[in-house]
Each structure stands twice: as C-alpha cells, then as structure tokens.
C-alpha cells in the first residue's frame, strides 16, 4: 500500500480529472488554467472513489459514436492539449 495521498481540495492547485463519461462538466467547459493538477485513473476501473473525492472537478471528454471511453493515454493527450491550448 502506498503512503502517497492527494491533499484535500483547497490546499493545492485545482485538480481536474477526465474521469467519467457521466461527469457533469465537459473538458471544454473547464478551459485552460494554471496551475493545475490532472488526475488520471487506471484503464478499466478508472479512479478510486477516494481519489474522485479529492478532485475539484470531474470532467468528461465528449465523443461521437458508440464508444463512451478512451484508453488512458488518449485521455491524457486530449486533456493536456485542451488545458494548454491558447485561448483565442
């Protein structure tokens, strides 16, 4: 068991996680901001409940088609691009 822990909200940079297709906010709604922590879960099971509770925002990556989830490397790439692109 690891001793690493995510600090509670308000005691660190805002944490955003593209964790769930059922999340209320889209990744686009969050927009670029800094500083920021991106939290990614394991493929399959995703984030543990305690980790979800430590995130300030859970977001979804909207996609068209029947597939509702992405593998973690694709979710990471899309999230990092969306959160670091210049605001026009």
Question: How does pLDDT run across 65-77, given as a tens digit for each residue?
Answer: 777 677 888 888 9
- Taking the whole predicted model, whether its pTM rises above 0.85 is answered as no
pLDDT of residue 16: 65
At residue 13 the predicted structure's pLDDT band, cuts being 50, 70 and 90, is low
Identify the CATH assignment for 15-84 out of 1.10.20.10, 3.30.70.100, 1.10.10.10, 3.40.1280.10. 3.40.1280.10
Q: CA 6 from chain center: how many Å?
A: 14
Q: Where are the domains of the chain?
A: 15-84
């Amino acid at each position: 068991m690891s001793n690493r822990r995510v600090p509670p909200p308000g005691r660190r940079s805002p944490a955003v996680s593209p964790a769930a297709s059922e999340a209320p906010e889209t990744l686009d709604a969050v927009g670029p901001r800094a500083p920021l922590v991106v939290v990614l879960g394991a493929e399959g099971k995703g984030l543990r409940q305690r980790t979800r509770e430590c995130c300030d925002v859970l977001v979804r990556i909207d996609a068209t088609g029947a597939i509702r989830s992405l593998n973690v490397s694709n979710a990471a790439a899309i999230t990092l691009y969306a959160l670091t692109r210049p605001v026009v």
